[in-house]
């Protein structure tokens, strides 16, 4: 149970950090809020150009966030026509277009659902939006179509859960069949909110079955905030890895529901346990698993929160890399419970921050990203440049 920073441990951490990439969400840089109100921030991004610039700054500071997730409605309001502009930003900032997120929840027509709406016309509209999103995905060379379906109902008896499954299957199948070579569709699940009686894709079982029926390019997306209290998320991860069905993660933390708090702020041990499942699986099972952040901070500074999140993710990943897999397997097989637990727990309790700093310096990065953000000029400049625009905005989520 030696978690001292031996040469071997250091090498393991360096190798893990070299491979670790996490995607930032464009909406994480914009003014967002709760359903009660929104507190505007002078430095928040109000344009897609600013979101790309912010993502580039996070990547410059951390070296681990080379792509930005895009939201079709907020970032490409004119659909395919906006692709050229995005391509220019990709080139300008050296930040890749990450997952493409269709919007199936904001249009007035989606009041009773999008791909599960009883109206064939509205389902058709939702399907068209998904197919256009796939075209955007192709044009931008993006790997993942990240689907969150907010459909559901608020009162028992008011909708047929069974017929809605059929409607959903049909459209997910069509969307899947439109995907190009090497492209995937990620199916996200969530137990409740915005619907409070039933949600059409409420858990990983439903998401898994829908993905399977859609086809081989469909995988499950695990948003860490989308579970009931006490759910063993790492076990879900283990199952999805076993079934070759894990597409990726939306990382955030929560205390009560889908709180979108900073990764690891409430329960860092859980993130460690999830990373352990990834790092203890064969590489061929985990190579395609996408790490993405899905957070929108209402009170913390946008950039500060994003850098803090990436840094936290790196630290927890480094801790998980410290688990001696071979030793742990031996202890597990021998049912040496306390020793196994100590081997596992010991990695979590090891302070990896000095080694992570060393890694940053060795890779030509700043040793302390948060401090560099605070003392650097970027934040000061955007605060000055964007203050006027932010004083007047506040109605749109993006």
- Which spans of this chain sit near Mn ion (rule: CB under 5 A)? 223, 250, 294
Of 223 and 324, nearer to Mn ion (C-beta) is 223
Distances from the Cα of 393 to the Cαs of 31, 168, 295, in angstroms?
9, 36, 20
d(CA 172, CA 168): 6
User: Least separation, in Å, of the C-beta of 102 and Mn ion?
Assistant: 13
For every residue of 258-289, DSSP letters joined together read S--BPTTSS-HHHHHHHHHHHHTS-HHHHTTP
Evaluated on CA atoms 258, 264, 266, 272, the torsion sign reads positive
Structure tokens at 46: 């109000």
Do the bridges between strand 67-71 and strand 290-293 make them parallel or antiparallel, or are there none, so unpaired? unpaired
For 13, half-sphere exposure in the C-beta direction (CA atoms, 13 angstrom radius) is 29
Least Cβ distance, residue 8 to Mn ion (angstroms): 36
Q: Whose Cβ is closer to Mn ion: residue 69's or residue 307's?
A: 69
Least separation in angstroms between residue 260's CB and Mn ion is: 9
Q: How far is the CB of 65 from Mn ion (least distance, A)?
A: 17
Q: How far is the CB of 253 from Mn ion (least distance, A)?
A: 13
Task: Identify whether the C-beta of residue 370 lies closer than 8 Å to the C-beta of residue 307.
Answer: yes
Least distance (Å) between residue 220 CB and Mn ion: 12
Structure tokens at 372: 């560099």
Alpha helices in 63-119 (DSSP H): 72-75, 83-93
Least distance in Å: CB of 219 to Mn ion? 14
Nearer to Mn ion, 63 or 247 (CB): 247
> Cβ closer to Mn ion: 57 or 294?
294
Cβ burial 153-184 (10 Å sphere, 16+ → b, else e): beeeeebeeeebbebbeebbeebbebbeeebb
Burial of 214 (0-12, 13-18, 19+ CB in 10 A): buried
- The H or E element that residue 310 is part of is helix 302-321
Q: Considering the complex, state which of residue 189 and residue 317 has its C-beta at the smaller distance from Mn ion.
A: 189
Nearest residue to Mn ion, scored by beta-carbon proximity: 250
Neighbours of 292 (CB within 10 A): 25
To Mn ion, the closest distance from the beta carbon of 148 in angstroms equals 6
Closer to Mn ion at the Cβ: 234 or 294?
A: 294
In the complex with Mn ion, which residue's Cβ is closer, 201 or 303? 201
């Amino acid at each position: 149970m030696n978690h001292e920073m031996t040469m071997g441990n250091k090498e393991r951490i360096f190798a893990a950090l070299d491979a670790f990439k996490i995607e930032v969400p464009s909406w994480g840089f914009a003014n967002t809020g709760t359903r009660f109100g929104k507190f505007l921030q002078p430095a928040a991004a109000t344009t897609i150009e600013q979101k790309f610039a912010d993502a580039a700054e996070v990547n410059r500071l951390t070296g681990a966030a080379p792509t930005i997730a895009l939201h079709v409605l907020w970032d490409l309001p004119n659909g395919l026509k906006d692709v050229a502009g995005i391509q220019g930003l990709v080139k300008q900032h050296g930040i890749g277009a990450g997952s493409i997120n269709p919007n199936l929840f904001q249009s007035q027509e989606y009041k009773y659902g999008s791909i599960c709406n009883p109206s064939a016309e509205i389902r058709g509209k939702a399907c068209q939006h998904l197919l256009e999103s796939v075209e955007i995905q192709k044009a931008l060379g993006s790997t993942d179509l990240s689907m969150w379906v907010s459909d559901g109902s608020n009162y028992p008896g008011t909708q047929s859960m069974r017929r809605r499954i059929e409607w959903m299957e049909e459209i997910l199948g069509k969307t899947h069949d439109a995907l190009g070579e090497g492209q995937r569709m990620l199916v996200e699940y969530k137990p409740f909110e915005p619907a409070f009686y039933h949600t059409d894709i409420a858990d990983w079982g439903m998401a898994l079955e829908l993905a399977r029926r859609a086809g081989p390019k469909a995988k499950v997306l695990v948003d860490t905030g989308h579970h009931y209290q006490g759910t063993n998320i790492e076990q879900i991860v283990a199952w999805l890895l076993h079934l070759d069905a894990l597409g990726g993660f939306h990382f955030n933390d929560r205390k009560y529901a889908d709180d979108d708090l900073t990764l690891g702020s409430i329960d860092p041990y859980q993130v460690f346990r999830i990373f352990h499942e990834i790092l203890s699986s064969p590489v061929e099972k985990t190579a395609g698993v996408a790490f993405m952040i899905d957070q929108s901070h209402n009170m913390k500074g946008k950039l500060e929160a994003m850098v803090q999140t990436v840094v936290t993710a790196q630290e927890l990943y480094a801790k998980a890399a410290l688990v001696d897999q071979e030793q742990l397997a031996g202890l597990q097989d021998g049912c040496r419970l306390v020793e196994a637990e100590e081997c596992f727990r010991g990695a979590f309790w090891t302070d990896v921050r000095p080694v992570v700093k060393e890694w940053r310096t060795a890779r030509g990065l700043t040793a302390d990203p948060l401090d560099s953000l605070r003392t650097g000029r970027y934040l000061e400049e955007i605060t000055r440049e964007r203050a006027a625009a932010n004083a007047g905005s506040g109605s749109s989520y993006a």
